[in-house]
Amino acid sequence: MNILLVCAAGMSTSLLVNRMNEAAAAKGIELHIEAHPVGSIDQYGDSADVILLGPQVRYELKNVKGKYSGKPVEIINMQDYGMMNGAKVLDFALELGGK
């Protein structure tokens, strides 16, 4: 499964990617998780199975859902994002992806 996290600049979300990878490793799950700025979604969206938007770019939800209508596209819970709770965000992505 390919999970794409989208945020304003890709910096803070990179830390969340690391936490999600740690949680996936602890569960024995192999995934590919990337974080990129919302401005570059056209480059990465097609290969993603699940697209999660950081709370700071929630205003892009309708636009991203329109571009990728066949994929799960949702906003990361603000509290989970703020706490960098990789395990919860991973579980959310897996649920959205049907895993």
Active site residues per annotation: 7
| Distance separating alpha carbons of residues 66 and 78, to the nearest angstrom | 22
| Distance separating alpha carbons of residues 37 and 64, to the nearest angstrom | 13
Token duo for residue 94: 């897996």
77: left (phi over 0), alpha (psi -120 to 50) or beta: beta
